[in-house]
Structure 1
Amino acid sequence: MEKEQFFRHRFLPVTTIVLALIVIWYVFAVILNAPFQRDMDTRANETPGSVEFIGRTLSQPKPVLPAPHQVAQNVFENTFMRRLSSNRSLVYHSWVTLSSTMLGFGFGTLLGIVIAVGIVHIRALDRSLMPWIIASQTVPILAIAPMVIVVLGAINITGLIPKALISTYLSFFPVAVGMVKGLRSPEVMHLDLMRTYNATAAQTFWKLRVPASVPFLFTSMKVAIAASLVGAIVGELPTGAVAGIGSKLLAGSYYSQTIDIWAALVAGSVLAALLVTIVGLVAKVVDRSMGGRAA
């Protein structure tokens, strides 16, 4: 019964949507690649049939829109058929990006928690700091990233730290907002009960506010770690990095290797999904250790 429900309510809908997206992808690949292929056939004085023409549009070496099988083949070759130290290995480039992602995520999570604690306990920070935090996220990261790279480069800080700081900029905001919500989530009745027990502010914080904020924290961390990955990739673009998913995107754009660009995007998407999944698993472990019921 459970397997049947899983198939009907989860597997079947997701599979249907994925297959529909793949079909739409193929259709647009043919449409977008057709003008170039038609021009090539005209120059070669060839008149292929409809099936052969569609096949050619889906097998171009530098298509406008790569077909799904071209992207899948590129991902497979550059993931499983390359040495991990190879510059063409997606695993190698993903590891480089992951390093700055995790460092920035750690900084952003810590900064977000500290800011949230300050906002909840200091009214002046709540009124003065929160508007600035919200305003900071309205500035495009593509405008901030080059400035961060240039300023830090002027004082000889290069490599991992600048990219991590860009990731921190994107990841601290959801953590701060989520923790503020979580620390303020205890009901007035519970706060009054702590006062009845003559609990100190520190005891109320650790025994009531912090446990109540844990679900909010992990939910915001899922958003933060995905944002941190985006920040790491964006941070690699203005540096002209030779390694990382951002460098693969740059190289692909320089040499019009659209298949490599899409393969790098797929690698980034898979990496983001894995990171969010890991955070979710940690959240379940923490929830069970705190006495929560398994979903």
Structure 2
Amino acid sequence: MFGPKSAARWVGAVSGAVLPVMAVVAAIVAIWYGGSVMMNRAWTLDQIERRGLEMTTMEIVADTMNQERPVLPTPHQVFNELWDTTVGEPIMRERRGELQGNPRNLFFHAYHTLWPTILGFAIGSFLGILLAVGIVHSRAMDMSVMPWAIASQTIPILAIAPIIVVVVSNLPALNNAVDQGWISDDTKLLVPKALISSYLSFFPVVVGMVAGLRSPNASDLDLMRTYSASRGQTFWKLRLPASVPFLFTSFKVSIAAALVGTIVAELPTGARFGLGARLLTGSYYGQTIQIWSALFMAAICAAALVILLGALERVVLKRMGVRT
């Protein structure tokens, strides 16, 4: 029965979980506002001097928090921009008699970033799992391929992204498909973005999957040998189930890396849509509020993807009989 004591315990548990988070958020917001005032006041003081105005300290502080193009936007400016470009703008709009996506809506840009992110994540995860299985079962691959996989991650993504974009964009097959009208230019840009995304996402999966496949201890492996289990049976009945928790942990890192890869790939591709294109447009025109709102949308997308993977992990582990 839900009595006063139960209610008190519930309130105490919620307070213990929520209050620390709220305290940290409040501290971050306070520091953010303070940083905005400090970094934006130079422009305000310069305008006061140029125009010969007289303003009180509170008026100066208020002006630094509401500049049109601030050096550091305030939290309420970023929130208002997010609201205006999501709820305040329709996702679809009619143009030239056709219903098309609205470039002023951040959900529209998020869609164009998430699609190659998910595709690149799927490709990178598939290749990472295959490579991990080969590394665990072949000492030659472990000694030869794994060092190259590690070395590949030392190459800055900003250095190879333009190379991949140029090479892939000039593939005859893709250009012919565009000329024939089979795909659009925007669809053509999906390929290099997905490749760059998969490049960043495969390595965490390789590392996590290798650790997971090697997680069974010697006694478990000896027991499988006692049952005369083949390498395939050992893999499917012991190594693979043991690797699932490791795999989902690496998936969460991988999906965030894939999103970063897609955003970076959108910068040199000349993409018109996507969060990377939104960031680039904001930097061209000095729209810092637009830049910050796009960054927050990217963070929201990453959090949503990680939460979805967490929910899928709980379902899979529950089906496997693992207590979570």
Q: TM-score range by the shorter chain?
A: over 0.9
Q: 1:3 to 1:108 in 2, by over 3 A?
A: farther
Q: Secondary structure at the match of 1:152?
A: helix
> CA offset at residue 3 of structure 1?
4.2
> CA offset at residue 5 of structure 1?
2.4
Q: Per-residue CA shift, 1:51-103, capped at 9, x if unaligned?
A: 01110111110000001100000001101011112111000000000000000
> CA offset at residue 112 of structure 1?
0.5
2:207 equivalent to 1:200: no
1:19-30 to 2 correspondence within 5 Å? 19-30=26-37
2:107 equivalent to 1:91: yes
Question: Unpaired segments of 5 or more residues in structure 1?
Answer: none
Distance 1:7 1:127 in 2: 52
1:1-295 to 2 correspondence within 5 Å? 1-8=9-16, 10-84=17-91, 85-156=101-172, 157=174, 158-294=188-324
Q: Per-residue CA shift, 1:193-220, capped at 9, x if unaligned?
A: 1111111111100000000000000000
Q: Secondary structure at the match of 1:46?
A: coil
> CA offset at residue 115 of structure 1?
0.3
* Percent identity of paired positions between Structure 1 and Structure 2: 52
Q: Secondary structure at the match of 1:237?
A: helix
Distance 1:246 1:262 in 2: 12
Question: Unpaired segments of 5 or more residues in structure 2?
Answer: 1-8, 92-100, 175-187
Runs of 4+ in 1 over 3 A off after TM superposition: none
Question: Which stretch shows the higher mean deviation, 243-252 or 40-49?
Answer: 40-49
Distance 1:6 1:207 in 2: 41
Q: Per-residue CA shift, 1:247-274, capped at 9, x if unaligned?
A: 0100000000000000000000000000
Aligned residues: 293
> CA offset at residue 154 of structure 1?
1.7
Normalization by structure 1: what TM-score? Answer: 0.98
Q: Secondary structure at the match of 2:242?
A: helix
* Equivalent position amino acid for 1:176 in 2: V
Distance 1:223 1:118 in 2: 22
Q: Secondary structure at the match of 1:60?
A: coil
> CA offset at residue 2 of structure 1?
4.4
* Equivalent position amino acid for 2:140 in 1: A
